[in-house]
């Protein structure tokens, strides 16, 4: 079967190779899934470049989420394939990791529902305790996890302020339902957030960027606000003097999905709630689809900030 493999640490278009690999074979407690669509995220790019905190020995198949059907059954599922990777035609995964998807949810959107939406759901509601009526500031809001955070914030009754780079991405954020959009290329988001909140600041700040964005976010978080540390797409892990949190009475809240996804009961509860939100139209994954042959270029575009929503590779 065909699979994309990262053959060395480096840039995607230089180290990704389309190869023939042995057919996927299910072990004990596993099933073979025929992959229909695989979603890519910034961690896939960083892992390829050797910059992610989880290192993988090469060669490996990238991709941390997929939608497909259980071989021989036609049962549609999404799953995090773990070390098996998603950019392949078939893969063997643990049966207890499978999550069902309804017939009216297209493969591409289903593939985007797992990492981006579960990440944003767990971060906003489990860690930051976002509630109706609060103000949520979402950075990189036109991206995969950012677009999910905008929709989930709106579904929770929050007032959502989005930041994005450039007029096109700003338009995407407005289409997603953001109440206010700040183009950080032309405007200072700190001043804009303070103006939009009458000087109070944002109750919850969703930050998958880190670096300078985190540093500036501390200047516009509300008293008793929460800054969610979701990732470091900027490439710089920020540092801070904690006396600032004391003086302003806010929290810096770390978030990583893995501990929560290791709880199968909670993982299924989140999934079922997301499906209910989709059914009533509260969320609708924003995806950018590319053919299987263009996977390396698609991964490279993530690094160039040239995408909106979740990048999804059509496998079949």
pLDDT beyond 90 at 134:
yes
pLDDT value at position 236? 92
H-assigned helices in the chain: 12-15, 42-49, 107-112, 118-121, 144-155, 167-176, 189-196, 211-217, 243-248, 258-261, 264-279, 295-303
* Separation between Cα atoms, residue 281 and residue 308, nearest integer Å: 20
d(CA 143, CA 160): 15
Span 148-169, pLDDT tens digits? 999 999 999 999 999 999 999 9
Reported as a single tens digit per residue, the pLDDT across 247-283 is: 999 999 999 988 888 899 999 999 999 999 999 999 9
209 three-class SS: coil
Query: Whole-prediction pTM value?
Result: 0.93
- For residue 47, name the pLDDT band (cuts at 50, 70, 90): very high
Measure the CA dihedral 121/126/128/134, to 10°.
70
The H-assigned helical ranges of 113-262 are 118-121, 144-155, 167-176, 189-196, 211-217, 243-248, 258-261
* pLDDT at 52 (0 to 100): 84
Q: Rounded to an integer, what distance in angstroms lies between the CA atom of residue 253 and that of residue 255? A: 6
Which tokens is 286 given? 């924003």
Half-sphere CA count of 158, side-chain side, radius 13 A? 28
pLDDT tens, residue by residue, 273-290:
999 999 999 999 999 999
Q: Which two tokens stand for residue 266?
A: 């909670």
Residue with tokens 């993982």: 267
DSSP secondary structure letter of residue 128: S
Alpha-carbon distance of 252 to 240, in angstroms, equals 10
Question: In terms of DSSP H, where are the helices of 19-104?
Answer: 42-49
Q: Cα(45)–Cα(102) distance, rounded to whole angstroms?
A: 30
Dump pLDDT digits (tens) for 69-99.
999 999 999 999 988 899 999 999 999 999 9
* Confidence (pLDDT) at 54: 81
Give 68 or 302, the one with higher predicted confidence: 68
CA separation for the pair 10, 14 (Å, rounded): 7
- Specify the pLDDT at position 55: 87
The share of the chain scoring above pLDDT 90, in percent, equals 88
């Amino acid at each position: 079967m065909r699979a994309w493999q990262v053959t060395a640490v480096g840039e995607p278009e230089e180290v990704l190779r389309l190869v023939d690999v042995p057919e996927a074979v299910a072990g004990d407690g596993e099933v073979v899934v025929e992959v229909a669509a695989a979603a890519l995220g910034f961690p896939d790019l960083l892992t390829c470049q050797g910059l992610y905190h989880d290192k993988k020995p090469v060669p490996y198949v990238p991709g941390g989420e997929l939608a497909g059907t259980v071989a021989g059954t036609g049962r549609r599922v999404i799953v995090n394939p773990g070390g098996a990777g998603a950019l392949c035609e078939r893969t063997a995964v643990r049966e207890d990791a499978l999550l069902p998807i309804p017939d009216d949810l297209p493969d591409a959107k289903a593939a985007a529902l797992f990492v981006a939406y579960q990440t944003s759901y767990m971060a906003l509601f489990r860690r930051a305790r976002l509630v109706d009526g609060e103000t949520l500031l979402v950075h990189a809001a036109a991206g995969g996890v950012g677009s999910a955070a905008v929709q989930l914030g709106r579904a929770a009754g929050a007032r959502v302020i989005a930041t994005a780079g450039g007029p096109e991405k700003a338009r995407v954020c407005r289409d997603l339902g953001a109440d206010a959009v700040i183009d950080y290329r032309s405007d200072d988001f700190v001043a804009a957030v303070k103006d939009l909140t009458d000087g109070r600041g944002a109750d919850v700040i969703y930050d998958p960027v880190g670096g300078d964005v985190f540093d500036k976010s501390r200047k516009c978080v509300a008293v008793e606000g929460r800054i969610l540390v979701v990732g470091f797409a900027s490439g710089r892990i920020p540092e801070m003097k904690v006396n600032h949190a004391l003086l302003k009475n806010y929290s810096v809240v770390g978030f990583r999905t893995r501990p929560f996804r290791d709880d199968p009961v909670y993982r299924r509860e989140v999934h079922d709630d997301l499906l209910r939100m989709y059914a009533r139209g509260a969320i609708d994954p924003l995806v950018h689809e590319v053919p299987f042959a263009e996977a390396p270029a698609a991964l490279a575009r993530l690094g160039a900030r040239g995408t909106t929503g979740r990048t999804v590779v059509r496998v079949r």
